[in-house]
Amino acid sequence: MKKIVVIGSLNMDLVTEVDHLVKPGETLSALSFSALPGGKGANQAAAAGKLGADVHMVGKIGADDYGDTLLNSLKQANVAADGILIENNGSPTGMAFIQVSRTGENSIVLVNGSNNNFRPHDLDAIRGVIEQGEIIILQLEIPFETVVMAIDLAKELGKKVILNPAPARSLPDELLKKIDLIIPNEIELETLTGLPAKTEDNIYTAADRLLASGAGKVIVTAGDRGCYYVGGGTREHIPPEKVKAVDTTAAGDSFIGAMAAGLSEGLAERKAIDLAVKAAAVTVTRKGAQPSLPDRGEVEDYFSGKTL
């Protein structure tokens, strides 16, 4: 099994359930509140770890109770924390304030905290962890210069690089050329390319723009429309599994972690996408970020009678 290294954010998700997403100027009473482990980096690591992959997390947390909670959650998901640095300068662990509506829609406000202090020089301290990995996963919730240096290091070491370009921002072609697999959602695809991504034709056109800019392959996640796989002569729409969504908070992270887990055990990319679609489908039937991520048995049980 190939080792996975996830370089990215760790957040405590402070989640309020609401009747509907709050509108500008509106005051709304919450239906419930919970504090749950999250952060796109940690979520993707936990998703892969719960599915049986050998995963190491790289990032930074504060020396506080939220940081301890995040470490414990990763441990329970079978994720090695040997690449996580702990700040002792009073900077808090990252937080995300999340609203989840009755229909499963969500909105998120990030407080970066220690994630924002994960700087390029910090990579020197955990270079050995990165060297162990064969699949490197990154997002954009840590400083961009750290992402760039981490990708440069990964390519220097001959690793497979997977990028989830979230939060959405434009990326230079010289960086895209170093990415083997980029996995944006529709909004992120529009931001990356400056093109619309409302229809299937739009998505293929925008994905082709990424390929022309140098990215290896593109998978566009499109919520209840499934995903689109483009590159290497392939243009395919993969439909979603039909489930009743309760909370979509970690659906994309579940997809990416499961995709990497499948690749780490030797599945072809197309087969790994099938696993990712199923894992994401189970995730949205449950509340929270990391608590909603399924293990392999739960995925197989949920889709019993179907072939993974």
Catalytic residues: 253
Helix (H, G, I), strand (E, B) or coil at 38: strand
Write the DSSP symbol of residue 118: -
278 and 308 Cβ atoms separated by less than 8 Å: yes
Strand order in the sheet with 11-17: 32-38, 11-17, 94-100, 106-111
Residue with tokens 């064969």: 134
Helix (H, G, I), strand (E, B) or coil at 84: strand
Cα–Cα distances (Å) from 193 to 22, 87, 147, 179, in that order, read 30, 36, 19, 15
Q: Which residues contact 99 (CB under 8 A, 6 or more apart)?
A: 15, 16, 18, 21, 22, 106, 107, 108
278 and 299 Cβ atoms separated by less than 8 Å: yes
For the chain, how long is the longest CA-to-CA vector? 53
